[in-house]
Amino acid sequence: MTDGQRLHIEATADRQFGTNSYLVVDEATHDAVVIDANLEPELMVRLVERRAATVRAILLTHTDIDHIAGLNRLRKAFGDVPIAVHDSEREVVTEGKPLRREFPNALPTFDNVDVLVPGETYRAGSLEFEVLHTPGHSPGGVTLRIGNALFTGDALFAGSIGRSDFSNSDGVALIEGIRQQLMVHPDDRLVFSGHGPVSTIGQERRYNPFL
Ligand SMILES: [Zn+2]
């Protein structure tokens, strides 16, 4: 992202899990990405139409079913745009390999899947995201930063943190990732999480009882 880039950020949430999907639009170019694909993709398809945005990629903070269930519909609506995911959860998307031993259902498979590499920038049209590794809820959990916005998936929520009771979760890694990758940001940085309302790093620093 270049200095002064104006972004429009808007969420849709499904009614079953309250999982957020986000649309991030560069207001100058109308290039856009969708972050996570919740259970009601139709809401996102309509939002993209309303904003007259051009979706350049679909980014995944992680691959729990409520964050990927809408992928098929989004791909149909937006064309064969890249889906980007951390390498350790790539097979969930490319092979349909379930993320959780606890939920062994078969999943659809996709091609044109990019890797989100921690410490590197992911570019989608005129949008650039910094990739931060925030594992623990799941091995390939990432936070995506653009400008003053952090998309934290199910690592950090307003007033809470993600579950770490699945067989491939790691509660220590979750806290460490949040402290080292997220709490180092300035107080006014916005937190857009996988569920629930928007927050700021400052608010979480002061009031989050899990940190
Ligand atoms: Zn979730």
The pLDDT averaged over each successive group of 10 residues in the chain (211 residues) is: 81 97 98 98 98 98 97 98 98 96 91 98 98 98 98 98 97 98 98 98 98 93
Residue 15's pLDDT is 96
Alpha-carbon distances, residue 18 vs 51, 81, 182, 197 (angstroms):
22, 25, 23, 10
For residue 193, the CA-to-ligand 1 centroid distance in Å is 9
Residue 3's pLDDT is 59
Residue 1's pLDDT is 47
For residue 151, the CA-to-ligand 1 centroid distance in Å is 13
82 burial type by CB count under 10 A (0-12 exposed, 13-18 middle, 19+ buried): middle
Residues with CB under 5 A from ligand 1 (ion): 66, 154, 194
How far is CA 157 from its chain centroid? 12
The pTM of the full predicted model, rounded to 2 decimals, is 0.97
For residue 123, the CA-to-ligand 1 centroid distance in Å is 24
For residue 189, the CA-to-ligand 1 centroid distance in Å is 21
Sequence-ordered list of residues with C-beta below 8 angstroms from that of 130, at least 6 positions apart, any chain: 121, 144, 145, 146
Query: 148, 136, 149: which is closest to 59 by C-alpha?
Result: 149
For residue 113, the CA-to-ligand 1 centroid distance in Å is 21
User: Phi, psi (5° rounding) for residue 71?
Assistant: -60, -45
Pairing of strands 113-116, 121-124: unpaired
**Could you give the 3-state DSSP secondary structure of residue 52?**
coil
Residue 105's pLDDT is 84
Alpha-carbon distances, residue 42 vs 15, 37, 38, 57, 117 (angstroms):
12, 10, 10, 17, 29
For residue 29, the CA-to-ligand 1 centroid distance in Å is 30
Sequence-ordered list of residues with C-beta below 8 angstroms from that of 52, at least 6 positions apart, any chain: 30
Cα 63 from Cα 85, distance rounded (Å): 8
For residue 64, the CA-to-ligand 1 centroid distance in Å is 6
Q: How many CA atoms lie within 13 A of 151 on its CB side?
A: 26
Side by side, which strands form the sheet with 7-13?
Answer: 7-13, 20-26, 31-35, 54-59, 83-86, 113-116
Residue 4's pLDDT is 76
